[in-house]
Amino acid sequence: MNPILLAVIIVSAIGLIAGLGLAIASKVMAVPVDEKAEKIRECLPGANCGACGFSGCDGYAEALSKGETTNTALCNPGGKDAAKAIAEITGLAAGEVIPKTAVVLCQGNKHNAEDKLIYSGIKSCAMASQVFGGPKACIYGCVGFGDCVKACPFDAISLCDGIARINPAKCHSCGVCINTCPKGIIKMLPVTEVKAAVLCNNHEKGAVTRKQCKAGCIGCMKCVKTCEVGAVSINNFCAEVDYEKCIGCGQCHEACPVKSIDILDMTHFMEYRSE
Amino acid sequence: MKYYLAIILTAILTENFVLSKFLGICPFLGVSKKLNTAAGMSLAVIFVMAMATAVTYPINKYLLEKNGLEYLQTIVFILVIAALVQLVEIILKKYIPSLYSALGIYLPLITTNCAVLGVVLLNVEKRAADPAFGFGASMFNSIGAGCGFMLAMVMFAGVRSKLESNDIPKFLQGLPITLIAASLVSVSFLGFGGIVDNIFG
Amino acid sequence: MAEKRSLGKEFSKGLLIENPVLRLVLGTCPTLATSTSMVNALGMGISVLIVLVCSNTVISLLRKVIPSKVRIPAYIVVIASFVTMVQMLVKAFVPTLNEALGVFLPLIVVNCIILGRAEAFAGKNSVIASAVDGVGMGIGFTMALLCMSTIRELFGNGTLLDGASTSILALFGVTKFNGVDVFAHLPIEPALIFILAPGGFFTFGLLMAFANKIAESKGKSKAELRGCASCPMAASCSLLLSGEKEDVLSKNPRAAVPAINSEEVAK
């Protein structure tokens, strides 16, 4: 037989057999796919961050399609658009997503915080905080080895002079950093509102705090006294702000002797938030 | 028996696919971040390598070589491997969903993995050089190559987990330092050179 | 790729900005395996270039005919045909190259660069743009291979362009020149390890670090907030207030404020 013809026949025959086999196999062994879940999955950003409380984006999509949850606004990274798109597919009401950003509530940088030991182990916050609560004198503040920097799926966190700082323009409020931080000093705050925030978590008595960090809350009560709406309280030697009551007037910041309470105006970051 | 043992050990140690033959580097760098994904991927590779060899060996011997159409090897082999991978995916999805959810995401990656096509082509090459290298030897060689891939992946996953917690200069972070670590690991595999010949020689 | 880009840009992006090997990290296997000598690298680069241009063109021509469900197998068949052709050409005209590349010549089929470009570019763009993209990417691949092989051949074998007269260069009329033995007149021995596998990984790692450094210094054009401007607490930052700001800036250039200045934030 003509070798060229033979070659053509062999290749086409193998291709045909393979194609037919696959076609039959996919028909015979078809597994029903949840189309709704797949459509929902396409609306989600796919960061698999777990902020929604389900096992990744697939888990959330499945839960929505099966009706295990009716909340369409659980996806923080996807924000408003994802909520709207999911609502269209599922026929549920679109939930309101308040844009939030994670903030490291600590000012204990190299300038402010005192060290109590020289740590030369593995550069990880989780590891370092096992050793007498970390190298800094204050055991409540940011350890500064950047576990959150590594954990952030959106590259929004950087280390600035020994403490982590989160860029609200890049933060997708997924909450991975909050779960990573061994000190629990990262909190989620709304970006759209101008409110006061206590940039300290030190619960030692004032005199002790003073020795540990120049910017630590000493529990002097000045902010509590100046606040006109009664939004600030002192709990265990550290100030706390009730965000419902706070009007963002800034008087507490004026009164604070160590400037550990501050008005965070992050509204201008919103325009830099890219989709 | 000794012959087959020598083939397997050669494929795993001296001719390690990843570290001395440079086949399958993409998954080696991409999927070796965590131990469980590395192990899952390598298991899938071993499975597909063995299947591909079992199917392509008769095709090559009875269809292509008989008719003097060796030049069709590349195109026929890749066709068969692509179809095979897809078929395995469908079968796993239907009958062993638990295994599918563990290995499924790696299967499409394997179609374009040069290690699979590489092992099939190398088998053909070895058979051309040594006519005694039959079906059994080809199968052992493929499984050995897959195990070598697994050894490299699992070992390197360990190395990478240590890399994570180190202070690395900014421009070396990520792939560059990973490659340099891979270079050190492959130095250790250089040490295996000649060991198989000496054991079985 | 919705926006239209000029053909010149399609071509030049493959050379540096989107260099397939150093920036996109595609096709690492042949890069490591065939960069042991410059002539091998050149042969591999040209083979890939030919396959890439041909397959990009054909796939772009067929892009409206191929149903998206079976596009990957269809692409693979197209690519495999061209690879087989190139393989036969190399066997006939440059047998030394065929021996040196061995299994990596047919393995161009599964080279991620080719399938990746088919999937990411040729399947969506016009014929001419796809061909130009193929040329750019192919030359980028060849350049990266040449960079690596120059380092590896020089340090590992002490030569440059060794065996040029029997290589692919012979097709272009290079028959008398047979490489330079650089280390012959030096009192040092070449380090063989550079030609072996570890040297490949090492050189590739260093080259990639170098490429990262260049890309970093050029900076991304995308406007984004960085440094103190990105910090919600810059207003009360003790470093800014205590006048240590310049100090911080000089120590850590990333704290510089390119997008908006810090006074604006302070308000």
What are C41-85's pLDDT values in tens digits?
999 999 999 999 999 999 999 988 888 777 877 888 899 999 999
Q: What is the mean pLDDT of chain C?
A: 78
Contact A22 B90 (CB under 8 A): yes
Reported as half-sphere exposure (CB side, CA atoms, 13 A), residue B31 has a value of 27
B179 touching C (Cβ < 8 Å): yes
Residue C1 maps to a domain:
no
Q: What residues in A contact B165, CB-CB < 8 Å? A: 122-124, 127
Q: Which pLDDT does position C185 carry in this prediction?
A: 79
Q: Which domains does chain A have, with CATH numbers?
A: 35-90 (1.10.15), 100-272 (3.30.70.20)
> Residue C259 pLDDT > 50, yes or no?
no
Chains near C with 3+ CB pairs less than 8 A apart are A, B
Q: Are residues C145 and C242 in the same domain?
A: no
Contact B83 A18 (CB under 8 A): yes
Q: Are residues C246 and C129 in the same domain?
A: no
- Residue C251: band (very low, low, confident or very high) from pLDDT cuts 50, 70, 90: very low
ipTM: 0.86
**Residue of chain A whose Cα is closest to the Cα of C229:** A167
For tokens 């797949």, the residue is: A38
Q: What is the mean pLDDT of chain B?
A: 85
Sign of the dihedral through C-alpha B129, B135, B137, B142: positive
Q: Are residues C50 and C81 in the same domain?
A: yes
Q: Which pLDDT does position C2 carry in this prediction?
A: 39
Residue C210 maps to a domain:
yes
Q: What percentage of chain B reaches a pLDDT higher than 70? A: 96
Residue C2 maps to a domain:
no
For tokens 């310049």, the residue is: C246
Greater confidence (C156 vs C166) lies with C156
Residue C239 maps to a domain:
yes
pLDDT digits (tens, 9 = 90+) for C234-250: 665 655 555 544 444 44
B170 touching C (Cβ < 8 Å): yes
Report the range of poorest mean pLDDT among A89-98, A154-163, A254-263, C73-82.
Answer: A89-98
Q: Among the three residues C198, C218, C238, which one is the final residue of a domain in this structure? A: C218
Residue A162 to chain B, least CA–CA distance (Å): 15
Q: Are residues C144 and C255 in the same domain?
A: no
Q: Which pLDDT does position C49 carry in this prediction?
A: 93
Residues A200-213: what's their mean pLDDT? Answer: 89
Residue A86 to chain B, least CA–CA distance (Å): 25
- Tell me the C-alpha distance between C178 and C184, whole Å: 14
Contact C225 A15 (CB under 8 A): no
Q: Which pLDDT does position A81 carry in this prediction?
A: 79
Please enumerate residues of C whose Cβ is less than 8 A from a Cβ of A.
77, 224-226, 228, 230-233, 235-239, 242, 244, 248, 252, 254-255, 259, 265
Q: What region, left, alpha or beta, does residue A157 occupy, with left being phi > 0 and alpha being psi -120 to 50 degrees?
A: beta
Contact C198 B72 (CB under 8 A): no
Contact A103 C254 (CB under 8 A): no
Residues 127-156 of A with CB under 8 A from C: none
Q: Are residues C92 and C189 in the same domain?
A: yes
Specify whether the CB–CB gap between B178 and C214 falls below 8 A.
no
Q: Are residues C134 and C12 in the same domain?
A: yes
Residues A107-121: what's their mean pLDDT? Answer: 86
Specify whether the CB–CB gap between A49 and A43 falls below 8 A.
no
Reported as half-sphere exposure (CB side, CA atoms, 13 A), residue A169 has a value of 18
Residue-number span of the structural domain to which C250 is assigned: 227-266
Q: Are residues C131 and C168 in the same domain?
A: yes
C107 touching B (Cβ < 8 Å): yes
Q: Which residue of C80, C202, C206 is in closest CB contact with B78?
A: C80
Residue C40 maps to a domain:
yes
Q: Are residues C190 and C261 in the same domain?
A: no
**Residue of chain A whose Cα is closest to the Cα of C223:** A272
> Residue B104 pLDDT > 70, yes or no?
no
- Residue C265: band (very low, low, confident or very high) from pLDDT cuts 50, 70, 90: very low
How many distinct structural domains can be found in chain C?
2
- Tell me the C-alpha distance between C163 and C38, whole Å: 9
DSSP-derived letter for residue C120 is I
Contact A111 C242 (CB under 8 A): yes
Distances (CA, A) of A268 to A103, C147, C230: 15, 46, 10
C204 touching B (Cβ < 8 Å): yes
Q: Among the three residues C178, C200, C218, which one is the final residue of a domain in this structure? A: C218
CA-based R_g, chain A, Å: 27
Q: Are residues C64 and C164 in the same domain?
A: yes
Distances (CA, A) of A189 to A231, B58, B61, C215: 16, 65, 68, 34
Q: Are residues C135 and C250 in the same domain?
A: no
Q: What residues in A contact B166, CB-CB < 8 Å? A: 122-123
Q: Are residues C158 and C77 in the same domain?
A: yes
Contact B122 C103 (CB under 8 A): yes
A211 touching B (Cβ < 8 Å): no
Contact B86 A11 (CB under 8 A): no
Q: Are residues C176 and C52 in the same domain?
A: yes
DSSP-derived letter for residue A235 is E
pLDDT digits (tens, 9 = 90+) for C206-238: 988 888 787 777 655 334 455 566 666 666 565
B47 touching C (Cβ < 8 Å): no
Q: Among the three residues C178, C194, C218, which one is the final residue of a domain in this structure? A: C218
- Residue B91: band (very low, low, confident or very high) from pLDDT cuts 50, 70, 90: confident
C259 touching B (Cβ < 8 Å): no
C102 touching B (Cβ < 8 Å): yes
Greater confidence (B91 vs A256) lies with A256
pLDDT digits (tens, 9 = 90+) for B62-71: 888 888 888 8
